[in-house]
Structure 1
Amino acid sequence: MSVQTREAPPRGKVSVRPAGSGGSAPGGGRGTGKGTLPYLLLLPALGLTAVLLGWPLVTNGMLSFQNLNMTQLIQHVTEWNGFANYTDTLTSDTFWRVTLRSVIFTVVNVVVIIVVGTLVGLLLARLGPKVRLLLSVGLVLAWAMPPIAGTTVYQWLFAQRFGVVNWVLAKIGFTSMADYNWTGSQLSTFFVVSLLIVWTSVPFVAINLYAATTTISRELYEAAALDGAGAWQSFKSVTFPFLKPFLMVATFLEVIWIFKAFPQVFAINEGGPDRLTETLPVYAFVEGVGNQHYGAGAAISVLTILILLALMSYYLRLVLRQEAEDDEAGESTTDRKKGERA
């Protein structure tokens, strides 16, 4: 019985199977499929975004170049007027007063929200489990309350005749506040609106910052204590560097949300008294829907978006620069660890 043997390939030579003969080579069909799969998964979300956000923006931009009021709507007439709506808006002193008011309103509220949210987040990190859970539930409920529902509650709290706030102030000795009209002046109206916005916005910052504190190693605080660092020094050298990226992102989001806040400002007093508490979103609504100058309202809304983008451009560069620095620091740390292992 004869046995056939096969010669082994010479040493040092490796037989390579062609890429199309079964198996997958780097850069082959399977790798290409993996590379395109994330983009295919994103297509439904991108399509919905284009339909729900892109189309209204395009329609609003087209309306801003039209002279559109009730007459044109009833007659189904499209009357194009070029840049007349933008020219009238940009040459109006009212528009620039409202813009300045909106910027100041946004800055004040964002600063208060970030400061109070940071303090509450640090408080959550120091509380016991049961008290932390109770406070977290309260924060989530305040955050989840619909804006109109929260506005209704604040209207009841600060009502002139039957408001809880005036009743409490009168009971503790401030008798002149018994019938105080909180929506009768610009500053008092803004105070109520700001209190409402801060109340509904602080939970987002606080919960996110508390989550960030859970990523900080206790060994860092112990090392700082051994070096003689106090509470404030430990916060500056240990806590704040970890919280900085979260604070930047939270500030970025809060600026957007506060600048475009509409239901809280409008529902409290409809931009009154005497339109002194109108911000840009409310101003666009009053001019467009209230006064039935829909083209002018659309132009104001487009300018609002452009002003917000201009305000956020510098801050966005800071966020991107911070992310780049964090990535470089992470890569250098990884390279150093690889060098130590080698």
Structure 2
Amino acid sequence: MSAQTEETTAARPASPSSRGGAAPPGRPREGKAQPLPYLLVLPAAALTVLLLGWTLLKNGLLSFQNLGKRQLIRHVTEWTGLDNYTNTLSNSEFWHVTGRSMAFTAVNVALIMVVGCLTGLLLARLGKGMRLLLSTALVLAWAMPVVAATTVFQWLFDQRFGVVNHLLDALGFHSMAGYNWTGDQLSTFFVITVLLVWQSVPFVAVNLYAATTTIPKELYEAAALDGAGAWKRFTSVTLPFLKPFFLATTFLEVIWVFKCFTQVFAINEGGPDRLTETLPVYAFAEGIGSQHFGMGAAISILTIVILLALTAYYLRLVLKQEEDDL
């Protein structure tokens, strides 16, 4: 029996790969890198380096300089080394703003993910007509320019003519008739949070609905046959499939909220008394507002470093998930 097997194996022609010959036509040689994917990515990578890399480099060089009105008028460059960074890191106000930015980001991202996920699950449950109507409303809210949306919310929460104060007064909350929503820290943050959640929910909802369409219906049917209720089907079927979506979307929302400038600045310019400044607004106020451009550049570089640390933490989570899946 073994002799016959050896004879058959010896008589069988060797494959091209075992003879060291070329692979079959149309099939790339294993282990050989293909240049086409890199060529396709090259234009976008070059444009990114040109638009962002050069700007980041100039901003980094500026952070090592003392650049103000006097230097601009005299066209001189005063290198100060790490003075801008040491002054920023030793300033207690910087750490207050950093902590405020962290808390602001955490609250907003939590609200965005909860409301967005609930809206996305609602889209999956609705009929075709209502789903189309809700999807259209979400896309319109998502497509509205940031400055236009911020202006609308300024009108809604206006002290004298705002719709919100008028409705609250009509509902019996007469003390809110002339309430100044931007008069203190918490109420200003409340307006900004409502604005950010309203702008971000469509992205999360639409993507979550798209993710739910990839889940095989047979899994839900099998879970139902096993006697699983709605909550059990959600935790045992839906959540495992949506875990990569949650990680990716949460990470994108953290970056978007942490670096948002327009909404925070346009509502009340970081006021009152600079109590609602986040790191991007703080960098603008120290750089453009105080005419100390080197300090503003240093703060912006430190903001990027914080975002890179968050990115590294996210990549660790993704790699850990991939290891667990294996």
Could you list the per-position Cα deviations for residues 125-151 of structure 1 after superposition, in whole angstroms to 9, with x for gaps in the alignment?
000001000100111111111111110
Could you list the per-position Cα deviations for residues 86-139 of structure 1 after superposition, in whole angstroms to 9, with x for gaps in the alignment?
011000010000000000000000011111111001000000001000100111
Name the CA distance, whole Å, in 1 between partners of 2:316 and 2:241. 20
Give 2:197's aligned amino acid. Answer: V
Structure-1 residue corresponding to 2:263: 264
Name the CA distance, whole Å, in 1 between partners of 2:234 and 2:73. 64
Q: Which residues of 2 match residues 185-200 of structure 1 at below 5 A?
A: 185-200=184-199
CA 1:34–1:82 in structure 2 vs 1: closer, same or farther (change >3 Å)? closer
Structure-2 residue corresponding to 1:50: 49
Q: Which residues of 2 match residues 123-272 of structure 1 at below 5 A?
A: 123-272=122-271
Structure-2 residue corresponding to 1:89: 88
Name the CA distance, whole Å, in 1 between partners of 2:103 and 2:14. 73
Name the CA distance, whole Å, in 1 between partners of 2:142 and 2:308. 26
Q: Which residues of 2 match residues 93-104 of structure 1 at below 5 A?
A: 93-104=92-103
Q: CA RMSD in A?
A: 2.2
Q: Give the 3-state SS of the residue equivalent to 2:35 in structure 1.
A: helix
Structure-1 residue corresponding to 2:117: 118
Q: Does 1:296 align with 2:275?
A: no
* 5+ long unaligned stretches in structure 1: 1-11, 18-23, 329-342
Structure 1: which 4+ aligned runs deviate by more than 4 Å? 12-17, 30-34
Could you list the per-position Cα deviations for residues 147-199 of structure 1 after superposition, in whole angstroms to 9, with x for gaps in the alignment?
11110000000000000000111111111100000000000000000000000
* 5+ long unaligned stretches in structure 2: 1-10
Name the CA distance, whole Å, in 2 between partners of 1:13 and 1:305. 62
Name the CA distance, whole Å, in 1 between partners of 2:33 and 2:129. 46
Shift of 1:316: 2.1
Give 1:265's aligned amino acid. Answer: V
Name the CA distance, whole Å, in 2 between partners of 1:47 and 1:314. 27
Q: TM-score, normalised by structure 1?
A: 0.86
Shift of 1:307: 1.3
Shift of 1:76: 1.1
Q: How many pairs does the alignment contain?
A: 310
Could you list the per-position Cα deviations for residues 230-282 of structure 1 after superposition, in whole angstroms to 9, with x for gaps in the alignment?
11111100111111110110001000000001000000000000000000000
Structure-2 residue corresponding to 1:9: none
Q: Give the 3-state SS of the residue equivalent to 1:240 in structure 2.
A: helix
Structure-1 residue corresponding to 2:36: 37
Give 1:302's aligned amino acid. Answer: I
Q: Give the 3-state SS of the residue equivalent to 2:267 in structure 1.
A: helix
Shift of 1:16: 12
Give 2:22's aligned amino acid. Answer: A
Q: TM-score, normalised by structure 2?
A: 0.90
Q: Give the 3-state SS of the residue equivalent to 1:35 in structure 2.
A: coil
Name the CA distance, whole Å, in 2 between partners of 1:226 and 1:292. 69
Structure-1 residue corresponding to 2:306: 307
CA 1:108–1:60 in structure 2 vs 1: closer, same or farther (change >3 Å)? same
Structure-2 residue corresponding to 1:316: 315
Structure-2 residue corresponding to 1:67: 66
Q: Highest CA radius of gyration, 1 or 2?
A: 1
Name the CA distance, whole Å, in 2 between partners of 1:203 and 1:146. 14
Shift of 1:323: 3.6
Name the CA distance, whole Å, in 2 between partners of 1:31 and 1:74. 62
Shift of 1:25: 2.7
- Identical aligned residues as a percent: 69
